């Protein structure tokens, strides 16, 4: 074999090998999902979820459903007090295992300081309460500061854990 052919063969092998996936990686074990033991939600559509760490989290959904977990999602328990009635909740953000905020239809904003067990209406929301005043998402940067967004460009923020909200878009 001459030098040109040898260079061609070596180059071809190097190029082809760069596209190959090692057999061990191609058949690696895939993580699996397991149904939660207790969900307390029946057939209600769940829309938002936020885990503050590997154990603690909250999920929200239609008909004002709010549930929390303290064991990584294996079991979910209904919130004791929600202050949302049957209002569909669209988003939730837990800043840590205790503190979080949930938002939904009709400008609904509620906060928790005990891991999702109890939820209290925000005192001031600066968000309308009509049928089309929908808050879609919320993000808490820490236990005090957060931002919520909604329909028609609505943006509100809190600096006291979700108790009061100020309109950032006016």
How far is 127 from 52, CA to CA, in rounded Å? 26
The pLDDT assigned to 17 comes to 55
Looking at mean pLDDT, say which of 8-12, 18-22, 147-151 comes out highest.
147-151
The side-by-side arrangement of strands in the sheet containing 166-167 is: 135-140, 146-150, 155-158, 166-167
CA angle 10, 14, 15 (to 5 degrees): 120
How far is 50 from 53, CA to CA, in rounded Å? 9
pLDDT tier, 21 (very low <50, low <70, confident <90, very high otherwise): low
pLDDT digits (tens, 9 = 90+) for 113-154: 999 999 999 998 888 877 778 999 999 999 999 999 999 889
- Residues with Cβ within 8 Å of residue 143, at least 6 apart in sequence: 95, 96, 98, 99, 161
pTM assigned to the model: 0.80
DSSP-derived letter for residue 30 is: P
The pLDDT assigned to 35 comes to 85
The pLDDT assigned to 88 comes to 95
85: left (phi over 0), alpha (psi -120 to 50) or beta: left
With a pLDDT cut of 70, the percent of the chain lying above it is 82
Q: Among all chains, which residue has been given the structure tokens 């596209």?
A: 19
pLDDT digits (tens, 9 = 90+) for 99-118: 999 999 999 999 999 999 99
CA angle 61, 132, 129 (to 5 degrees): 85
The pLDDT assigned to 143 comes to 97
Statement: residue 63 has pLDDT above 90: yes
Asked whether the CA dihedral 104, 110, 113, 114 is positive or negative, the reply is: negative
């Amino acid at each position: 074999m001459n030098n040109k052919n040898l260079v061609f063969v070596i180059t071809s092998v190097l190029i082809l090998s760069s596209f190959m996936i090692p057999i061990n990686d191609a058949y690696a074990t895939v993580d699996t999902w397991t149904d939660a033991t207790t969900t307390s939600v029946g057939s209600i559509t769940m829309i938002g979820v936020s885990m503050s760490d590997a154990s603690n989290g909250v999920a929200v959904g239609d008909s004002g459903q709010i549930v929390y977990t303290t064991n990584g999602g294996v079991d979910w328990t209904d919130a004791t007090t929600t202050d949302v009635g049957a209002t569909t909740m669209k988003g939730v953000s837990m800043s840590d295992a205790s503190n979080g905020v949930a938002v939904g239809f009709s400008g609904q904003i509620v906060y928790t300081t005990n891991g999702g067990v109890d939820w209290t209406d925000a005192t001031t929301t600066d968000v309308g309460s009509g049928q089309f005043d929908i808050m879609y998402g919320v993000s808490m940067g820490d236990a005090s500061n957060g931002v919520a967004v909604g329909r028609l460009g609505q943006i509100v923020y809190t600096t006291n854990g979700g108790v009061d909200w100020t309109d950032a878009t006016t």
